[in-house]
Amino acid sequence: QLQTKHSHRRQKVLVVANRLPTKPKRDADGNWTFERCSGGLVSCLAGIRAKFDMVWLGWPGADFNDVEKDIVANEAMKQGCYPVFLRQNLIDEYYNGFANNVLWPLFHYIMPPFDKGVNECSTGQWEAYRKANEIFTEAILSVYEDDDYVWIHDYHLMLVPKFLREAKPDCNIGWFLHTPFPSAEIYRTLPWRQEIIESLLHANLLGFHVYDYLRHFLSSCVQLTSLEISAHSVDATSIGGCIVTCATVPIGISPDEFLTGLQKPEVKQQIEQLHEQYAGRKVILGIDRLDYMKGIPHKLMSFGRFLENHPDWADKCVLVQLAVPSRRDVPEYQRLQRQVHELVGQISGKHSSIATGVPVIYMDSSMSPDDLSALYNVADVALITSLRDGMNLVSYEYIACQHGKTVPGVLILSEFAGAAQSLGAGSIRVNPWHLQDTAHAIYEALMMGSEEREALHDYAFKYVSEHTAQKWAETFLQCLQEACSDLMEVTSQ
C-alpha cells in the first residue's frame, strides 16, 4: 500500500471528471434514486481502490436546490463521490455550450460553418467554461491533501491543471483525454487555443489513447509556444508549469464483466429468445450514443446501399440500431435525431414488405448491461462507422461477447476510431465516408467463412483481454507517479 511521505495515511487519487458515476433523481412522489452508472470509467477505476483511497469529483447531472444538494451530497459521499454543483445557466453555457458545442465538434474535426467564426455567444460560453473549471478546482482543493494524485479527465476540464498548479505548486497532476486531439491545423483555429494549451502544460502527465493524438498535441505546442519540446515531453517550466510527460495509454474494457454476465441464466434465456426472434436472419448490430461523430446516417445510408446492391439479402438480414440519447439540449443533437429518423423511414419505406418485414429495427433508448450483452452475443456482424472517435469501446464489448461462439461474428470498424489502431487486424476496416466501401464490407462480413472469422476474432479477443480497463488505469497512474518522481529528482538536483 502506498503511503505519503508526510504521514501514514494512504495516498488518495482524486478522479476529476465532468460527470459523477451516480445519477441522482427525484420522482414525482419525492423519492430519490441514485442509479450507479456502469461500464466506462467506473469499471476502469475499480482496480485503483486496491492501492489508493479514491474520491471521484464530478457534476451530478442536474441543477439542485439547497435542500436537494444536501441529500445528493450525503448519498454521493457514501459512494466515495464528491458532487460539484453547477447552476443551470452555467450548465447551459459551460456544458451544453463551450464543452459540447465548441470543443467537442472541433476535437472531432468539425469546424464552425464556413461563413462564421466561432459565434459571438461563444465568448460568454468561454467565460462560463473558465468559471466551471474554477469551481471544479475549488472542489478539488477542498478534499486535496499533500501528496495526493489528481487525475483530471477530458476536454471539459482543460483549465484545471493551471488553476490547481497555481494554488498547489507541488500537486501531482495528470490529465487524460478521452477524445481525439485534432491536428494542429484544426486546433489552432480555436480562439482560446493559447490559454488551453498553456494550462494543460501545468500538469505532470498528459495521456492520450493513441500516438497520433499525442503527436497532434505536440505539433500544437510547437506551433503555439516557444517551449523546448522533445518526442515525449515539453519543458514548460518557463511558464510556471513542469517538464510535462506525454504518454500514449489506450483505454480498454473489463472483458470478465461481460463474460460473467453471459453466464447468467437470464442472459442465456434472452440470447435464446433473440435467436428465435431472428431465426433465418443475420443480425447486423449498431450501438452508439446518438452523436453526429458516430456516423449513424452514414451507417444507415451504407446499409441502404447494401440492400440495393443485394436485394436477395432483404429477407435474410436485419440492422438492429440502438441510438442512446445524448446531450438533448444541444440543437445539433436534436437535428441529428430528426435526420436519423428520416433515414430509417426512407430505408424501411423502400425495403420493407409484408413478407419480409422491416429491414431496420431502430431504438432511441439505452439498454441494461444484461440485455446489451445478449444482443452483442447474437449479432453476426457489428457495424461501427464513427467519423471520428477517441477510442470506441463498443467494438471491444462486441468482441468480448462473441467469445466462445463456434462461429464468431465479424467486426466492421471505421478507420477513424482510435480502436482501429488496436483492433484493425481483427476486423474489416472501412472508410465510413465511402458508402459503397462500407456497403461492400457488410456483404463481405456476411459471406465470410468460419476460418477467417475465427482468425479475426482470435486476434481481436487477445488484444481486448490483455489491454483491459484495469491495466489502463494502473498504467496511467504508474506513469503519473514516475512523471512526478522524475520531477522531484530534477528539482532537488
Contacts to ligand G6P by CB under 6 A: 18-19, 154, 178-179, 326-327
Q: How far is the CB of 87 from ligand G6P (least distance, A)?
A: 18
Q: How far is the CB of 493 from ligand G6P (least distance, A)?
A: 38
Residue number of the CB atom closest to ligand G6P: 178
Q: 203 burial class (0-12, 13-18, 19+ CB within 10 angstroms)? A: buried
413: which strand partners?
Answer: 384, 429
**In this complex, which beta carbon is closest to ligand G6P, that of residue 18 or of residue 137?**
18
Q: How far is the CB of 152 from ligand G6P (least distance, A)?
A: 11
Between CA 140 and CA 303 the distance in angstroms is: 47
Between CA 374 and CA 227 the distance in angstroms is: 52
Q: What are phi and psi of 184, to 5 degrees?
A: -60, -30
Q: What are phi and psi of 431, to 5 degrees?
A: -95, 105
Q: How far is the CB of 224 from ligand G6P (least distance, A)?
A: 23
Between CA 161 and CA 197 the distance in angstroms is: 10
Q: How far is the CB of 191 from ligand G6P (least distance, A)?
A: 22
Q: 62 burial class (0-12, 13-18, 19+ CB within 10 angstroms)? A: middle
**In this complex, which beta carbon is closest to ligand G6P, that of residue 19 or of residue 202?**
19
**In this complex, which beta carbon is closest to ligand G6P, that of residue 145 or of residue 364?**
364
**In this complex, which beta carbon is closest to ligand G6P, that of residue 22 or of residue 377?**
22
Q: How far is the CB of 180 from ligand G6P (least distance, A)?
A: 10
**In this complex, which beta carbon is closest to ligand G6P, that of residue 19 or of residue 403?**
19
Identify which of 308, 367, 309, 363 has the alpha carbon closest to the alpha carbon of residue 340. 363
Cα-Cα-Cα-Cα dihedral sign, residues 387, 124, 330, 59? positive
Q: How far is the CB of 326 from ligand G6P (least distance, A)?
A: 5
Residues 253, 396 contacting (CB under 8 angstroms): yes
Distance of CA 392 to the CA centre of its chain: 7
**In this complex, which beta carbon is closest to ligand G6P, that of residue 177 or of residue 410?**
177
**Sequence-distant (≥ 6) Cβ neighbours of residue 161 within 8 angstroms:** 152, 173, 175, 199, 200, 201, 202, 203, 241
**In this complex, which beta carbon is closest to ligand G6P, that of residue 178 or of residue 440?**
178
